[in-house]
Amino acid sequence: MRLSLAQRFGAVVLAVVVLAAVWSQLAGFDPVLGVAPQAANLGPSLAHPLGTDHLGREVITRLAAACGAFVFPGLLAVTLCGALAVPLGALAGWAGGSVERFVRAMLGTVASIPPLVLALLLCSAWGNSHTHLALAAAIAYMPTFAEAVFARIATLRQAEFLVAARAYGLSEWRIVWRHLIVAACGPTIARQGLLLFSEYLVLETTLSYLGGFGVQEPMPSWGNMITFEWGRGNLAPLAAPVIALWLTLLALAWLAHGAAEERSHV
């Protein structure tokens, strides 16, 4: 699988982010322990690569720990969404006719609810937590995910190799199925997964930035780090979450575009 330069950049950034999240889980990041008023507002140095914020907490540690706020719930959202969207889209694409119309009508219903609206309602009624946010994201993005899979399978349904395979009889059915879902839809599913992950990141950071929902102080999130530090300290604590967020979203976008441009063997 050949990756372009932009895609490689994307993959590297994604790997860094995931590793940071895993590290912060394993190393047992404690948000309160780092508070050290005497070390407030230190500039970047060897001991503190990005300096400290106005409470003396090390910025780079919080930056890395904030990855945990979206990586695991994001993965949960992608898994939940994919588990429902892929079979639904495949069913609609393969069966066609009234099954297709019914499934797409259902999806259209869910699609009319903007994701943020669903997220706010759910968190308001069910309580503010990562799991609830992930659930809301999974439901809200299911139509997009399923439509992408549906479109891919619907095009393939007419592909000539399937006609030939059918001519060979039903014993080939399982091989065809595997080729269809894994090989042909693989890039589509990967792309949708990346896009959903990216949307979850936006959702989480937005809610954390605005306050009230999402991640609350003292737990770090790139969103609440922006709110918390603005107008108080040096440049590093302000710029770090902004750049991290911008870069990660760009990386995910470039990685996702590549996943769709891959030519499958079909």
Give me the residues that bind another protein (CB under 8 A), please: 101, 105-106, 108-118, 120-127, 202, 205-206, 209-210, 212-213, 223, 226, 230, 242, 245-246, 249-250, 253
Measured from the CB atom, the residue of 32 and 125 that comes closer to another protein is 125
Nearest to another protein of 61, 205 (CB atom): 205
Residue 52 bridge partners (DSSP): 58
Say how many Å lie between the first and final Cα of the chain, rounded.
Answer: 15
What is the C-alpha to C-alpha distance for residues 236 and 241, in angstroms, rounded to an integer? Answer: 9
CB of 164 to another protein, least distance (A): 25
Which residue number, 52 or 205, has a Cβ lying nearer to another protein?
Answer: 205
R_g of the chain computed on alpha carbons: 22
In the complex with another protein, the residue whose CB is nearer, 16 or 110, is 110
Q: What minimum distance in Å lies between the beta carbon of 220 and another protein?
A: 17
Q: Which residues does 96 contact at the CB level (< 8 Å), separation at least 6?
A: 154, 157
In the bound complex, what is the minimum distance in angstroms from residue 253's beta carbon to another protein? 6
35 and 56 Cβ atoms separated by less than 8 Å: yes
Tokens of 27: 């190393």
Element (H, E) at 206: helix 186-210
Q: With respect to another protein, which residue has the nearer C-beta, 165 or 253?
A: 253
Q: Which residue has the tokens 């937590």?
A: 129
> Is the Cβ of residue 136 or residue 189 nearer to another protein in the bound state?
136
Nearer to another protein, 18 or 249 (CB): 249
Compute the least distance from the CB of residue 254 to another protein, in Å.
Answer: 8
CB of 180 to another protein, least distance (A): 25
Find the shortest distance in angstroms from Cβ 26 to another protein: 29
Distance of CA 261 to the CA centre of its chain: 19
Give yes or no for a cis peptide into 218 (omega within 30° of 0): yes
Structure tokens at 160: 């000539």
Instruction: Name the maximum alpha-carbon separation found in the chain.
Output: 78
> Residue 205 CB, nearest distance to another protein (Å)?
7
54 φ/ψ angles, rounded to the nearest 5 degrees: -75, -5
Tell me how long the chain is: 266
Q: How far apart are CA 187 and CA 262, in angstroms?
A: 7
